[in-house]
Amino acid sequence: MVEHRRWNDIVAYLILTLGVLLVVFPVYVALIASTHDAATVVNGNMPMTPGSHTWENYYRAIFVGGSRASREPVGHMLINSFIMAMGIALGKIFISILSAYAVVYFRFPFRMAAFWIIFITLMLPVEVRIYPTYKVIADLKMLDSYAGLILPLIASATGTLLFRQFFMTIPDELLEASRIDGAGPYRFFKDTLLPLSVTTMAALFVIQFIYGWNQYLWPLLITTQDSMQTIVTGIKKMLTTTDELAEWQLAMATAILAMLPPVAVVIFMQRLFVRGLVETEK
């Protein structure tokens, strides 16, 4: 700020503290609920302090599974989510760094056509073409498979644009220098371009990992077996039980577990995360 007034700072601290409370409160409530037993949670008068059932709830959720409707242990769902998120992040980095390399460093017929074919995918999220995509996956016999969970969500241009933009900022002299050293396209890519792209790759990885982890509609549609469920879709299934009361304390423990990995990624890789978010929007 231009002038420095004490009350001005105090107001800022007050507003920001209020904001943080607003942001944290729903998670705090969930965390508390995951430490009580079922009776305490459902009577509508849950205390705002931790209970004594933490170990039991998390153990049951991770290793035994929730209610009768979905007997799948959350531990297994976590593994599925992890495979899906990693597959989407790594797959997208792989296909988009190659295609960006082709578009920037080569001249060939239909170059711009190829670029536009990829570029248009930015405009249509998977939610819009959900049933036709489902049908394609069913025709390819990919229901209930990791390939079916991962591949359709890789088909988008964000990564290609990001790498293209980054390659444009690399001085041409670098390429000339490595050509004088006798490097071909493969050596130039491996020895010069890849090392320079590490930060961009990491930023894209962070964003795509979160995107993949948090997918909901797509896994909901194409997984019919409980053993292929991801954690984000699993929570919902815990709450739609018909034959008994939903076990909210387990659902809340699962919600906390579902939040941990992506939130940890944002907090511990904040710089990369911010960079990835801002760069992919340009």
* Span 93-112, contacts to another protein by CB under 8 A: 94-96, 98-99, 101-108, 111
The residue behind tokens 């423990």 is: 253
Q: Which of these ranges, 12-20, 52-60, 61-69, 193-201, lies near another protein under the rule CB under 8 A?
A: 12-20
The residue behind tokens 């000339």 is: 176
Closest CA to 262 of 70, 88, 72: 88
Distance of closest approach, residue 63 Cβ to another protein, in angstroms: 21
Q: Which of these ranges, 18-26, 54-62, 67-75, 191-199, lies near another protein under the rule CB under 8 A?
A: 18-26
* DSSP state at residue 123: G
Distance of closest approach, residue 107 Cβ to another protein, in angstroms: 6
Distances (CA, A) of 281 to 28, 91, 122, 215: 31, 20, 11, 20
Helix (H) or strand (E) holding 188: helix 185-188
**Position 193 contacts another protein (CB under 8 A):** no
**Position 210 contacts another protein (CB under 8 A):** yes
**Position 61 contacts another protein (CB under 8 A):** no
Q: Which of these ranges, 13-21, 50-58, 69-77, 190-198, lies near another protein under the rule CB under 8 A?
A: 13-21
**Position 222 contacts another protein (CB under 8 A):** no
Residues in the chain: 282
The residue behind tokens 């992890």 is: 82
Distance CA 30, CA 41 (A): 10
Q: Which of these ranges, 52-60, 62-70, 71-79, 211-219, lies near another protein under the rule CB under 8 A?
A: 211-219
**Position 33 contacts another protein (CB under 8 A):** yes
